[in-house]
Structure 1
């Protein structure tokens, strides 16, 4: 079996921050973890020793969208619906609403009553780019019928475009010059991938099982690669957390304040994807390790997978428990994003593109598939055009 390489070293060139958030301890189970006590002592020690000014992190200009502050005000007609039990998908709101600017990090926007309560400017910009295409890969939008799997492959095409954009816009663009700033920008692009996957309700219905398995491997490698690039090695195994690692994690949590929320949604989506047919990847196992360790270190929460949680935590608890049952080395996968994407491209040439974007079709081509025109056609003529 090919083992996942976790020897990637992080490069942190930014000055340390003196703004260290302190949180009250909260535990889910009744066990006293020795590691937790050690971590709390280290956190207190680091809080006392921080004395350098905080430096605001900025993203690349290409990821910025023109806006003014008035764009970010919530509509006056919006109100919380007390009857809604579960939060709404963030993908259903960010196209129409800008959210509120985060008070401490102006590169993030806050939404209410959504599963992802905070989203970065970069992720929102790229998410909107992909989300606006979804109606155009659905024949029903144009009162057309093409074939049963058309919308499935249309959504797959959007996902492929998102993955290609991440590869070209980050890893391939900077190549061997990737630094922490680039990695943080990359994570925000992967954050957009999470929103796209959340919106992709039909791509799992493609009639090519091998291709479905292959794209899941690419998606999984995309998540694991950026986590390995960003986080210290101790987040992936039982290695003790050092003071230096703790400082990096605290600073990282300030630069990406919604990190845990993104990983949570990725785990829930991964559980859904891997539950379709046979399990083909162990990427959620890596995410589960990171999520649980982050909860312990940063939130001081010990997650007990043997204890049933509140109903509001049911989805993530099921996802974590499911992932914990998959061995990290169960499959021959590299967890290397560019490598898995290259294998996928060779197996399925013509990656991405816009062939399923009906808005780019000519009127003549569209008219051939209009639902009203099918009733007047001779038997068999419709299928000859496919």
Structure 2
């Protein structure tokens, strides 16, 4: 493969915004709920690379074939792999496609075929578009995929914020989860959070680093009480940010078995090994110790290798910077097998504008 833009290439990212931005110079598009993917094609050779840099090619053979049939012979495309079921996007069906068995991959590629929605053009023939503004990249993408047919698509866009707000209100019924805003004058910035995303609820991708047992757990039937969640600080520390719970009893038992492969072996260390150290508790965000509310409740936990990522819903954060944590219990939404734990940082969290309390109080 010999292209003007080559892997590895980190995709351009987005940060959360409360509302669709107003003013000139924005291009809006629906926020697709799938696997972010950069596709490199050089003749018959096609590579699909995930947001985290992992190869996805073997899991989506039908996407490879559809790119060969619909995309230019030499190109690099940024977009989203999605699966539609009953007229809605299905992230669960998409997650099931990540399977180690080739026979299972082949079966699912026929039973739940995926589509590719392109929203950026990074290279075409011998030309790189990375440094070009979006106002150049977008029409070039449309022209490059003008003859493409299902299951390869080009995302809809608009420069009208009113229309974008209408999309935000109506497209959720099709399984989309918001609107993305991009500056028309901006170049493609790998790994830069230069886009804005407006979602229907606050969510975060966090690392599962341990769990607590449920109060009804027994030696013969252990039950998971809550998942312990973490985010990485700028200095590489995994900070404890809260818990996710509210599972059914059957699910609590299933999670014990599901997380068993992540249990530490003898001699393995854990980012929160010092949870019983009072000085460490005071200087960083660690779980464990006695409850500050009751003074007696044991909050010890079962440590896990921090290798799995989960998407949770939350309402508010409390604290500043890398001491922030979820104010209330987070809500488990789904596993994110497409995310690397190290990518789960505080950057993804919505920054709430400061407001003078004196202006609130009468």
Which range, TM-score by smaller chain? under 0.3
Higher strand proportion (structure 1 or 2): 2
- The TM-score, its normalising length taken from structure 2, stands at 0.24
Higher helix proportion (structure 1 or 2): 1
